[in-house]
């Protein structure tokens, strides 16, 4: 069942991406981020009231860490969606396992085994192939934003897993993430000019918020009750759903080299997740150093 939750979350995230990309012609990135958070706050407040779940949290540090990193990742992702083809933007935002593996080495001093190093190298080859032949000069800001979103999302999912282990309800976690998203998006929206949407715009904003909020609930439940590495790898089905939406709605027929690059990045993320997962207790016998409890290389972006 946790695996099914992640597939549902991936489909809903792809639907959110469609709404954001359609709305990027009418709204600024700040507006999209603000409305996404505001709709999520309202939705999670209703769900919490119906379920009798208090919204006050004893885990403020984890909630703030998850909220800030996740909100910044969402900003980068929405910005990339407005510039890049849907499949490219989604794929770049799903590079988080590659970046986390590097962070484990550079920041935490972990020593990766050669399968993990080979997986990371394969991922960067895929990124280079995706960016070089297909990204036009005017699209480079979106490409950089997509990569930054992948890096920030990896930090967010470390907190997601820790919040699940601490027993935080999914509704509470998504509520505070949505609240911080709205709070951070509002100044940007006001700076660019916040305007009331028409009927089409309202439908797109509501869709982005509803799809995103439901996807967050499904994803959080999958990480909480399922195996992290399985949930992380299944999350790459978002790339598949987004690619299909891109072809159907925008006729985004990417060149063969781009599809090969996307396949490399997805394969790299899955391979990195498998190569950096904690070893079983039997493999840690004899004084071997165990993998850190917060190993996030098996996490994926938002």
**pLDDT at position 229, please?**
63
Task: Check if the beta carbon of residue 124 is closer than 8 Å to that of residue 262.
Answer: no
293 belongs to a structural domain: no
Q: Which residues, including other chains, have CB under 8 Å from residue 86's CB and lie 6 or more apart?
A: 17, 18, 21, 242, 243, 245, 246, 249, 250, 252
**pLDDT at position 264, please?**
86
Q: Which residues, including other chains, have CB under 8 Å from residue 291's CB and lie 6 or more apart?
A: 110, 276, 277, 278, 279
Three-class DSSP category at 280: coil
**pLDDT at position 278, please?**
60
Nearest to 270 by CA among 233, 238, 237: 233
Dihedral angle computed from the Cα positions of residues 268, 89, 223 and 58, in that order, rounded to the nearest 10 degrees: 130
Domain hosting 127: range is: 2-278
134 belongs to a structural domain: yes
- Rounded to a whole number of angstroms, the distance between the first and last alpha carbons of the chain is 21
259 Cα distance to chain centroid: 20
Nearest to 74 by CA among 188, 203, 198: 188
Nearest to 68 by CA among 159, 3, 130, 143: 159
> Measured between alpha carbons, how far is 297 from 272 in angstroms, rounded to an integer?
7
Q: How much is the pTM?
A: 0.80
60 belongs to a structural domain: yes
pLDDT digits (tens, 9 = 90+) for 180-198: 999 999 999 999 888 788 9
Please state the domain count of the chain: 1
Question: Tens of pLDDT along the chain (302 residues)?
Answer: 677 888 899 999 999 999 999 999 899 999 999 999 999 999 999 999 999 999 999 998 889 988 999 999 999 999 999 999 898 898 888 887 777 677 667 766 667 677 777 877 887 788 777 776 567 778 889 999 998 998 888 777 667 767 877 888 888 988 999 999 999 999 999 998 887 889 999 999 999 999 988 998 888 788 777 776 677 777 888 888 998 899 899 988 777 888 888 888 888 878 876 776 665 554 444 444 333 333 333 333 34
Task: Check if the beta carbon of residue 231 is closer than 8 Å to that of residue 1.
Answer: no
292 belongs to a structural domain: no
Crossing angle (nearest 10°) for helices 60-81 and 140-165: 150
144 belongs to a structural domain: yes
Handedness of CA 63, 65, 68, 73 (dihedral sign): negative
pLDDT digits (tens, 9 = 90+) for 88-117: 898 888 887 777 677 667 766 667 677 777
3 Cα distance to chain centroid: 17
286 belongs to a structural domain: no
> Measured between alpha carbons, how far is 63 from 231 in angstroms, rounded to an integer?
21
**pLDDT at position 132, please?**
67
**pLDDT at position 104, please?**
63
Crossing angle (nearest 10°) for helices 96-106 and 256-275: 50
Nearest to 40 by CA among 149, 191, 185: 185
Spell out the alpha helix ranges (H) of the chain: 2-23, 29-51, 60-81, 86-93, 96-106, 114-134, 140-165, 170-192, 199-225, 228-234, 237-250, 256-275
What is the 8-class DSSP label of residue 219? Answer: H
For 258, the token pair is 């781009």
298 belongs to a structural domain: no
300 belongs to a structural domain: no
């Amino acid at each position: 069942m946790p695996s099914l939750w992640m597939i549902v979350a991936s489909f809903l995230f792809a639907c959110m991406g469609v709404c954001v990309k359609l709305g990027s012609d009418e709204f600024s990135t700040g507006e999209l981020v603000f409305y996404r958070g505001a709709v999520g706050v309202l939705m999670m407040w209703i769900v919490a009231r119906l379920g009798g779940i208090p919204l006050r949290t004893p885990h403020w540090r984890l909630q703030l860490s998850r909220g800030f990193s996740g909100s910044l990742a969402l900003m980068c992702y929405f910005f990339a969606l407005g510039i890049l083809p849907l499949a490219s933007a989604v794929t770049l935002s799903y590079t988080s396992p590659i970046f986390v593996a590097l962070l484990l080495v550079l920041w935490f001093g972990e020593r990766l085994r050669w399968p993990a190093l080979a997986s990371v190298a394969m991922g960067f080859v895929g990124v280079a192939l995706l960016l070089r032949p297909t990204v036009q000069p005017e699209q480079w800001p979106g490409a950089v934003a997509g990569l930054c979103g992948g890096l920030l999302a990896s930090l967010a999912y470390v907190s997601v897993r820790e919040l699940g282990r601490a027993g935080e309800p999914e509704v509470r976690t998504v509520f505070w993430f949505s609240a911080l998203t709205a709070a951070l998006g509002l100044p940007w929206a006001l700076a660019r000019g916040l305007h009331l949407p028409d009927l089409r715009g309202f439908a797109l904003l509501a869709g982005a918020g509803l799809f995103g909020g439901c996807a967050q609930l499904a994803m959080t439940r999958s990480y909480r009750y399922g195996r992290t590495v399985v949930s992380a790898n299944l999350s790459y089905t978002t790339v598949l759903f987004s690619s299909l939406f891109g072809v159907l709605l925008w006729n985004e027929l990417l060149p063969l080299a781009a599809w090969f690059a996307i396949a490399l990045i997805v394969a790299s993320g899955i391979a990195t997740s498998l190569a950096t997962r904690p070893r079983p207790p039997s493999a840690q016998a004899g004084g071997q150093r165990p993998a850190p409890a917060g190993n996030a290389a098996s996490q994926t972006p938002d």
